[in-house]
Amino acid sequence: MAEFLFHSYKRKFQLLILFFSLSLTITTVVTWRESSSSVCLVHTKPSSPLVSFLERVQETAFDTLGNTNFDAKTYVDLALKFDLSATEKAFDKLARSANGSVSVNDFNNFIETYFDGAGDDLEYSIPGDFVPEPPGFLPKVKHPEVRAWALKVHSLWKNLSRKESTRVKTQPHLHTLLPLPASFIIPGSRFREVYYWDSYWVIRGLLVSKMYKTAAAIVTNLIAFIEEYGFVLNGARAYYTNRSQPPLLSAMIYEIYKSTGDVKLVKRALPALRREYEFWNSEIHRVTIRDTQGCSHTLNHYYAMWNKPRPESSTTDKASASKLLNASEKQHFYHELASTAESGWDFSTRWMRDPSEFTTLATTSIIPVDLNAFILGMELNIAFFAKVTGDKSTAERFLELSEFRKKAMNSVFWNEDMKQWLDYWLSNPSCEGDHVWVAQHQNKNIFASNFVPLWMDPFHSDTSLVRKVVKSLKTCGLLRAHGIATSLTESGQQWDFPNGWAPLQHMLVEGLVKSGLKEARSLAEEIAVRWITTNYISFKKTGVMHEKFDVGHCGEFGGGGEYVPQTGFGWSNGVVLAFLEEFGWPQDRNIDC
């Protein structure tokens, strides 16, 4: 027994040393997650006292107001009018019933007295580079109605532009909103702060709108996250410091550089991008797979630094976990919830061991196709930026890393029978050593993510491969009347059928276009036309742009998930503008259902 404890503590010490040796400014506490096959370290970031208190307020709000029209995020976005100690004392003095609720009148008075409203710490900020009709805007859009609509979509950048109030910088302890150096574009509605992967498609739209300074300002904010935390946060809130989102910062900078030639931005960004790369290749995100030839491949998975309810969804997460038997199971489930949120696909049967049971989320046991495609893109972009700045050795190193990843993706993900790249399940999610590749562990369910590698140059440059993928995409069932479905499973989760999402449409369409094949471009334009049409019809009916769409019904926005459908909407606007720039809209082409 003594020998076991010695080796156990020795191993724990070695893992802690390894973790703290990373060049990350992450403060961690360490908890343990046990499974039937292994004992794994789960690195978690401590919550701030303000966030912990606001979770208590959120729970009381739920107990008092009920579930109707209740959005848990509202309460962790509130800003204090007074210091935390005084606010907490007043909260603790509220008279409560046996179930923890207070009277609606008392609760509303407390909120009004001690808090500013969610979003009140942000101000509208008309971008300095916005003009109603930019010179050279969408020259290939000849249809007058489509052009008028495109200008309305362009004008939405004004509505979605924000800057933080001075109080966020002078009194940051009163806010969960994190101080940022520049203004930004929000997605819309409840998403009232800057978000990581949303920003890529926002920037693609801003570049169509010739708003180069606004695009660069967004990147400046994301670089600031890396400089402060060691990685780009999910979003600009204190409760998002425990996870990232799909890593697309290098892709944003690449697109801005292509449009502006801004070498200064590239030089500023390169050290931050290398640091972000270290984060995504640190022990918590790195997995090694040994293939059938005995070759080892290093790939990456999502892994949040959290094992408690997500503060922005605390009441929802606790309700979902209520059927689990003990604290250890709940901690494991909360870790999977946060790790799934890091993927951006929150939530989908893609991440569930049992598609009918939400608590079987197992995202950390999956090596995702799209994440590794994004990191491949990061490697290629860093190599490109290093070349631009004259750093030959870094360029060569990252090109070599990209070659390793391409081989790994071909070996682990590619399925020749299906002509798709498939996520890989780890049968034994142990914390060390190689995992042996087994064909049966590929997830053979159809998801739009199975085609995302086509977005990357090593794959869309392979003509023979593209032809296979085009055929598979046409016949797999994802291509619907009004866009590409996220999956073929109708689960009620928002990243499943029948929802279609702008980022997925764009990645697949752009990958097809970049291949240069006539048949691929034809399919790409077909998808883009369907997607533009449903966005246009929906806008005509509702007067707003939506977060997601039902690809089976023209002009219908999507649903499902843990919050009501949102409007605004950053990435939808960006993708519509990008598609119109690429394909235009002839005067004689109808736009209706």
CA angle 521, 212, 457 (to 5 degrees): 35
* CA atoms 67, 72, 78, 82: torsion sign: positive
pLDDT of 520: 98
The answer to whether residue 70 scores a pLDDT higher than 80 is yes
**Same structural domain for residues 593 and 450?**
yes
**Same structural domain for residues 453 and 592?**
yes
Residue from 88, 342, 496, 547 carrying the catalytic annotation: 547
Q: In whole angstroms, what is the distance from residue 157 CA to residue 205 CA?
A: 9
CA angle 343, 574, 476 (to 5 degrees): 55
Cα distances (angstroms) measured from residue 458 to each of 404, 407, 514: 12, 10, 11
pLDDT of 427: 83
Burial class (CB in 10 A: 0-12, 13-18, 19+), 106: middle
Q: In whole angstroms, what is the distance from residue 145 CA to residue 136 CA?
A: 18
**Which residue type does 587 have?**
Q
Number of Cβ within 10 Å of residue 85's Cβ equals 10
The answer to whether residue 302 scores a pLDDT higher than 60 is yes
The model's confidence at residue 445, banded by pLDDT at 50, 70 and 90, is very high
Q: What tokens appear for 198 in the block?
A: 């949303």
Counts of helices then strands in the chain (DSSP H, E): 20, 18
Q: What is the largest CA-CA distance in the chain?
A: 81
Q: In whole angstroms, what is the distance from residue 561 CA to residue 344 CA?
A: 13
Q: What is the mean pLDDT of residues 22-30?
A: 36
- Proportion of the chain in helix, strand, coil states, percent, rounded to 5: 50, 10, 35
Contact predicate 468/462, CB 8 Å? no
pLDDT of 44: 85
The answer to whether residue 517 scores a pLDDT higher than 90 is yes
| pLDDT per position as a tens digit, 85-139 | 999 999 999 999 998 899 999 999 999 999 999 999 999 999 999 999 999 999 9
**Same structural domain for residues 267 and 135?**
yes
**Which residue type does 512 have?**
L
**Same structural domain for residues 33 and 151?**
no
For residue 483, give the H/E element and its range: strand 483-484
Residue from 255, 276, 346, 550 carrying the catalytic annotation: 346
- The residue out of 236, 254, 280 marking a domain boundary is 280
**Same structural domain for residues 480 and 585?**
yes
Q: Flag whether 338 is in a domain.
A: no
The answer to whether residue 45 scores a pLDDT higher than 70 is yes
Q: Flag whether 531 is in a domain.
A: yes
Tokens 């089976």 found at = 552
Q: Measuring CA to CA, which residue among 354, 249, 340 is closest to residue 303?
A: 340
The answer to whether residue 13 scores a pLDDT higher than 60 is no
Q: In whole angstroms, what is the distance from residue 346 CA to residue 491 CA?
A: 13
Q: What tokens appear for 48 in the block?
A: 């701030």
**Same structural domain for residues 139 and 270?**
yes
**Average pLDDT taken over every residue of the chain:** 93
**Same structural domain for residues 14 and 154?**
no
Q: In whole angstroms, what is the distance from residue 448 CA to residue 368 CA?
A: 12
Is 547 tagged catalytic? yes
pLDDT of 7: 43
Q: Flag whether 273 is in a domain.
A: yes
Q: What is the mean pLDDT of residues 223-251?
A: 98
pLDDT of 431: 61
- The residue out of 280, 312, 328 marking a domain boundary is 280
Does the reported pTM lie above 0.85? yes
Q: Flag whether 290 is in a domain.
A: no
pLDDT of 27: 35
The model's confidence at residue 41, banded by pLDDT at 50, 70 and 90, is low
10 is in which domain, residue-wise? 2-44
| pLDDT per position as a tens digit, 190-199 | 999 999 999 9
| pLDDT per position as a tens digit, 324-347 | 999 999 999 999 999 999 999 999
Q: Flag whether 84 is in a domain.
A: no
**Same structural domain for residues 38 and 146?**
no
**Same structural domain for residues 271 and 163?**
yes
pLDDT of 19: 35
Q: Flag whether 513 is in a domain.
A: yes
DSSP class of residue 190 equals T
The answer to whether residue 6 scores a pLDDT higher than 60 is no
Q: Flag whether 577 is in a domain.
A: yes
Q: In whole angstroms, what is the distance from residue 59 CA to residue 64 CA?
A: 9
Contact predicate 147/591, CB 8 Å? no
Q: Flag whether 378 is in a domain.
A: no
- The residue out of 241, 262, 280 marking a domain boundary is 280
The answer to whether residue 433 scores a pLDDT higher than 90 is no
| pLDDT per position as a tens digit, 201-220 | 999 999 999 999 999 999 99
- Our count of domains for the chain comes to 3
Instruction: Name every residue whose Cβ is closer than 8 Å to that of residue 588 and which is 6 or more positions away in sequence.
Output: none
